[in-house]
Amino acid sequence: MPQLPTYFLSHGGGPWPWMQEFGTAYDELAQSLTQLSSDLTSRPQALLVVTAHWEEPSFSVSSAAFPSMIYDYYGFPDYTYQIQYPAPGDPQLAQSVVERLQSAGIEARTDSSRGFDHGTFTPLAVSFPKADIPVVQLSLNSNLDTALHYRAGQALQGLRDQGVLIIGSGLSYHNLRRFDKSAQEPSRQFDDWLYQTLALSESARYQALQHWQSAPSARIAHPREEHLMPLWVALGAASNAKAHCIYRQNDLFGGISASSYRFDG
């Protein structure tokens, strides 16, 4: 079985794939997510999604056989609270994830009650609309330590050889107080830095990312870094793989820059 890539995806805002109200704002993101599955050389046996919308004191892994839905957004139309993404879970994979993390000296546990949040079901509904591939979610550690999340990714790298597609789901820009034209310049500055940094060699990009807060407009782009943190897991699992930008838009909602990446090759 060929080794699968890893991904860092900008998952967009709320339940956007179901909302005609957004018009064409998300057309480019939708196209990139649709293309994701067709670009894979083999069908994944399972999806492991590192979601920016779940934080715990230690890494937690969803282990329900049939996960519920979590509508973790506010102020959207009533119908968006009835959305279903009926993919099965994979308790066996969940346990394997925990064991791999623990073997690397990283505290982890399963959570049989956790459902799919929109960091998971929103992008997957576009990339894998049939919902016929098992999905397991991995939380962030609430300490948001970059090195720890990179180590977690390294511990999970072997899953790529077993048909598990590892997806970090966040946003390359996440400042809800500046999600308008005022974000045009700071989001562009940070996105340009991220694009250039991810093109570096593994050691160079790791060192640069360790100091991401010094990047241009970093704290405007990410007042709190939880939506950037899945990137570190995806990179750790990718080892020295090259970064390929699969989505880059500089006019989201009139001027916001955002991007997504695949790591392989």
Tens-digit pLDDT string for the chain (265 aa): 789 999 999 999 999 999 999 999 999 999 999 999 999 999 999 999 999 999 999 999 999 999 999 999 999 999 999 999 999 999 999 999 999 999 999 999 999 999 999 999 999 999 999 999 999 999 999 999 999 999 999 999 999 999 999 999 999 999 988 877 889 999 999 999 999 999 999 889 999 999 999 999 999 999 999 999 999 999 999 988 999 999 999 998 878 999 999 999 7
Amino acid at 212: W
Q: What are phi and psi of 115, to 5 degrees?
A: -100, 180
* 1 in a structural domain: no
* 208 in a structural domain: yes
What local confidence, expressed as pLDDT, does residue 110 receive? 98
Strand-strand pairing, 135-141 and 46-56: parallel
Domain of residue 229: give its range: 6-264
* 233 in a structural domain: yes
* Number of structural domains found in the chain: 1
* 184 in a structural domain: yes
Task: Look up the CATH number of the domain holding residue 184.
Answer: 3.40.830.10
What local confidence, expressed as pLDDT, does residue 253 receive? 82
In a 3-state reduction of DSSP, which class is residue 247?
strand
What local confidence, expressed as pLDDT, does residue 239 receive? 85
- The greatest distance separating any two alpha carbons of the chain, rounded to the nearest whole angstrom, comes to 47
CA angle 109, 229, 243 (to 5 degrees): 115
Tokens at residue 89, please?
């879970």
**What is the C-alpha separation between 47 and 27, in angstroms, rounded?**
24
Contact between 33 and 194 (Cβ < 8 Å): no
Tokens at residue 100, please?
């791999």
* 24 in a structural domain: yes
What local confidence, expressed as pLDDT, does residue 113 receive? 98
> What's the pTM value of the predicted model, to 2 decimals?
0.97
What local confidence, expressed as pLDDT, does residue 168 receive? 98
What local confidence, expressed as pLDDT, does residue 240 receive? 86
